[in-house]
Structure 1
Amino acid sequence: MLQASNKLMIHEFTYGKLADEIEKRQLGQIVEQCFIGSPSDTEPYLNRIGVDNFRVIRQAKEVVGGLGLLPMGQWYGGLCVPMTGIAAVGIAPEHRGSGAAIALMQNVVRELHESGMPLSVLYPATQRLYRKAGYEQGGSYCSWEIPTQSIQIIEQPLPAIPVALENFEWQKLYQQQAKSNNGNLERHQAIWQRLMQPDEKETIYAYLLGSLDQPQGYIIFRQRRGENESYLVVRDWVILTTAAAKSFWAFLAKHRSMVNKVQWRGSVVESLSLLLPEQTLDPKFVERWVLRIINVEKALAARGYPSGVESELHLEVQDDLLDANQGKFILSVANGRGEVTRGGKGEMKLDVRGLAPLYTNLFTPQQLQQMGYLQATESAIATATALFANSSPWMPDFF
């Protein structure tokens, strides 16, 4: 079994945990240079994720790159699937192009598989590298902006109650929303800490929508001034009812005398926009996170499926890195849950990359077949369409 604490030879590279304070400093310097940071940023970041959760790649006993592991979960079909997020992947500039990056990623994929992890997700600086390790586009990260004057929603059914960040269990309310959205995280504590900790020159404001004992949503935000405009930046939000959605917009509209624009992170298919009188919101950016099916059997069995569908999907998967993922599988679905067994007819053929956007529902089976990501019979396409039909996958978090 692969242990991260052991040094594993991949050509001239060795992989493992940080060995001592010297290697921690070396990795910190690489992270600073790769992500244009400073020692004052890097030390707290390493400690927040946890030093034991970092992995490094070495060449001739020198740390030449590394990354962080964030064990958490991701919601699909109403169930939370264990997932490890990959953060801060960095290679020292003088070692780029040496093969260190792909060696690092291949090793971490093998380690995660040995640990039994079903999924892994990361935000790619370049998709080409991560595709070589079996990752593929899985969902969206989108930032929206709207002129405050254009919101024009006056009715506010629920009060907005100011609450100190430390005086409310935000995680419980967040989870009620996350489980209904494909791709939303069961957040690692480091993500919560970043959301709740203000920068030195800003204040974070938090409001519950509804009552203290029965809140129906919340807004956590900061305000900032640009060169010519001022902004209200929503750091986190939860909307659980229609009344909360109307109150969300009405509360934001009340800032129009001093705030020019509101920014928030949401789905590419943003349902909040349905309540606006006009579609005056604009996407500021849209990025794709990538997902890797680490364990085919566990990943397919752990997610949820439509409760009214009872069917079998016969898959044949190719995975050049993980032999255990190769071969034929039968996904049997009933009562919203899946069961996976070996064997079957292999009516849908795809590699592990093609399985990722099918699994998350980023693209339909028809679209994936059209782009050459899978080959399947008409009946297999119809079955997969029914099994993986759900909301477009997204997350409001970057890591």
Structure 2
Amino acid sequence: MTVRPYAPEHADAVHRMRKLAFGTPRDDAWAAESDAWHGFVADVDGDTCGTLRIWAYRQFFGGRAVPAGGIATVAVDPHARGRGVAGALLDAALAGMREAGQPLSILFAATPPLYRGRGWEQVGSAERVQVPISVLAALPPGRAPVRRAVEADLPELHRLYLDLGSTVDGMLDRSEPAFEVSRIFELDIVDVVPGEDGVRGYVAASRHGANDLTVWDLVARDAEAALTLLGRLSSWAGMVEQVSLRLVDPVVYDLLLAMPRHLPRFVEPFMLRVVDLAAAVEARGWPDYLPDFTVDLEITDEHAPWNAGRHRLVHESGALRIEPGGTGVVRLQARALGPWFAGTATTDALRRAGLLEGVAPMLDAVTAAPRQLRIADTF
């Protein structure tokens, strides 16, 4: 088996595999080189029979956007399945992401055991709730002015999104080249709440089907702007029965909307992998109020061997770093690194899952575990 970088001459083979695996139409974006992604293909006996794509993303942790490779379109020809093609592609992707300066990797898994076997683990979700119009109509009214967004608003809309995203671990920063912020105008509705100091909030939505309105973003700086935008959604009474909302901002969805608990929710989990532990720790934001401490680690990581071995996690003067050495008193499997880094699992939970041995309370303190991660974008 040979794994090599994707090239435009692989486009027809990739289209065939994507169609078989996902039933998707031809994607001509695969036919050209792009700064937004890079890919790999696998050949067995001279036949191209596997592929994957890695998007160039940045994901917020501790208020800082950490470069992350978004794994997508993992496909293997039916006749080649069961021969280790997908695993070989993922091994190549790990080395490729490290070389590209992407110390994290995220993905939405159709087959979680495949990715767990290579060190990814579930840490968060993209989540939607179906809200009846009657629930929105019962909210206190917001009375701020609303207007349709124009192209000149784009920088402020992205700034507003970043202000929110940087406070919600797991969110992507929607930076170029993987995102084109102007594509928001492909949606049916993009309305803003203007203010004296710039845009106070915006909603972006599209009409899907006779009885549904899908909201992709609802972002607001203050309660009045949020209630105004939610109130605008309630104006669809008589035209749609429900609104599909992303669950991202706890202020909007938990403190203002106060939704009934029985409303239908759609949850799509995502998985995280620490590709390069030292680089990931350096790039992440960490609390600056903790005392200085050290934790000696021993990491087992067969598929990213540069992470393996004994390391010392050092917190000094508000900064965290990884350096070689130490006694290895706390032992972690590769799958433990993602939930620990994200703060979604405590060391006790990782110990009960068989992914960690030893005791180190400061590993929990530095991530404020356990916490919930959200992501607004799927891929």
Does TM, normalized by the shorter one, top 0.5? yes
The alignment status of 1:300 with 2:281, answered yes or no, reads: yes
The equivalent position to 2:145 in structure 1, one of 151, 154, 159, is 159
Matches within 5 A, 1:34-49: 34-39=21-26, 42-44=27-29
Check 1:161–1:211 CA distance in 2 against 1; reply closer, same or farther (3 A cut). Answer: farther
2:191 is matched with which residue: 185, 207, 216?
Answer: 207
Measured in 2, the distance between the counterparts of 1:221 and 1:271 equals 16
Q: CA deviation at 1:210?
A: 3.2
Shift of 1:64: 0.5
- Secondary structure of 2:374's partner? coil
C-alpha distance in 2 between matches for 1:336 and 1:283: 42
Measure how far apart 1:329 and its partner are.
1.9
| Shift, 1:219, TM fit | 0.8
Residues 259-278 of structure 1 mapped to structure 2, 5 A cutoff:
259-267=240-248, 272-276=253-257, 278=259
What corresponds to 2:77 in structure 1? 92
Q: Distance in 2 between matches of 1:81 and 1:277?
A: 32
Question: Deviation digits for residues 96-128 of structure 1, max 9, x if unmatched?
Answer: 112111111111112222344211111111011
Q: Provide closer, same or farther for how the CA distance between residues 302 and 259 of structure 1 changes in structure 2, counting only shifts above 3 A.
A: same
Quick one: distance in 1 between partners of 2:251 and 2:258?
14
The 1:273/1:16 distance shift into structure 2, 3 A limit, reads same
Instruction: Please state how far the C-alpha of 1:59 moved relative to its aligned partner.
Output: 1.3
Counterparts of 1:291 and 1:197, CA distance in 2: 30
Instruction: Tell me, yes or no, if the aligned pair for 1:48 and 1:190 is still in contact at 8 Å.
Output: no
Answering whether residue 300 of structure 2 is matched by residue 318 of structure 1, we say yes
2:127/2:247 contact within 8 Å kept = yes
Provide closer, same or farther for how the CA distance between residues 47 and 197 of structure 1 changes in structure 2, counting only shifts above 3 A.
farther
Q: 1:276 is aligned with what amino acid?
A: L
2:376 paired with 1:396: yes
* Cross-structure match for 1:58: 43
Structure 1, 162-171 or 103-112: larger mean CA deviation: 162-171
Q: How big is each residue's C-alpha offset from its partner over 1:217-243, in whole Å with a ceiling of 9 and x where there is no partner?
A: 2110012324xxx11101223233233
User: 1:332-389 CA deviation, whole Å, 9 max, x = no partner?
Assistant: 2355531221122323211111111111122222222222221122xx1x21121011
Match of residue 30 from structure 1: 17
Name 2:202's counterpart in structure 1.
218
Q: Secondary structure of the residue that 1:300 maps to in structure 2?
A: helix
Q: 1:244 aligns with which of 221, 225, 228?
A: 225
Question: Could you tell me whether the CA contact under 8 Å between 2:105 and 2:274 is conserved in 1?
Answer: yes
Quote the offset at 1:18 in angstroms. 2.9
Compared CA separation, residues 280 and 136, structure 1 to 2 (3 A): closer
Matches within 5 A, 1:228-377: 230-267=211-248, 272-276=253-257, 278-279=259-260, 282-310=263-291, 311-334=293-316, 336-377=318-359
- In 2, Cα distance between equivalents of 1:103 and 1:194: 37
- Seen in structure 2, the aligned counterparts of structure 1 residues 217 and 52 have a Cα distance that, compared at 3 Å, is closer
Contact 1:303–1:337 (8 Å) recurs in 2: no
Q: TM-score, normalised by structure 2?
A: 0.90
Do 1:17 and 1:52's aligned partners in 2 also have CA atoms closer than 8 Å? no
Query: Using a 3 Å threshold, how does the CA distance of structure 1 residues 205 and 48 change in structure 2: closer, same or farther?
Result: farther
Matched, 1:129 2:117: no
User: Which residue does the alignment assign to 2:364?
Assistant: 385
Aligned to 1:185: 172
Contact 1:49 1:68 in 2 (8 A): no
Confirm whether residue 147 of structure 1 aligns to residue 127 of structure 2.
no
After superposition, the CA RMSD in angstroms is 2.6
Greater shift, 304-313 or 354-363, is seen at 304-313
Structure 1 counterpart of 2:140, one-letter code: I
Aligned pair in 2 of structure 1 residues 195, 145: CA closer, same or farther (>3 Å)?
A: farther
Q: Deviations over 1:232-255 (max 9, x none)?
A: 101223233233332232222222
Other structure's SS at 1:312 match: strand
2:184 aligned partner, one-letter code: M
Describe the shift of the 1:363–1:147 C-alpha distance in structure 2 as closer, same or farther (beyond 3 A): same
Unaligned runs of 5+ in 2: none
Query: Does the C-alpha gap of structure 1 residues 242 and 45 become closer, same or farther in structure 2, counting only changes over 3 Å?
Result: farther
Paired residues of 1:145 and 1:281 also in contact (CA < 8 A):
no
Question: What is the CA-CA distance between 1:30 and the residue it aligns to?
Answer: 1.2
| Larger displacement relative to structure 2 (254-263 or 174-183) | 254-263
Q: Using a 3 Å threshold, how does the CA distance of structure 1 residues 83 and 20 change in structure 2: closer, same or farther?
A: closer
> Hey, what's the Cα distance between the residues in 2 that align with 1:336 and 1:262?
44
Q: List runs of 5+ in structure 1 lacking aligned partners.
A: 1-12
Conserved in 2, the CA contact under 8 Å of 1:142 and 1:283?
A: no
Give the TM-score normalised by structure 1.
0.86
CA distance in 2, matches of 1:179, 1:51: 21
Aligned AA (1:314): D
Change in CA separation of 1:48 and 1:222 when aligned onto 2, cut-off 3 Å: farther
Indicate how the Cα distance of structure 1 residues 86 and 232 shifts in structure 2: closer, same or farther if over 3 A, else same. Answer: same
Q: Which moved more, 1:215-224 or 1:327-336?
A: 327-336
Q: Is the 8 A contact 1:205 1:221 kept in 2?
A: yes
- Asked whether the equivalents of residues 304 and 336 of structure 1 are also in contact (C-alpha less than 8 Å), the reply is no
Instruction: Provide the secondary structure at the position in 1 that maps to 2:272.
Output: strand
Could you tell me which amino acid in structure 2 is paired with residue 386 of structure 1? A
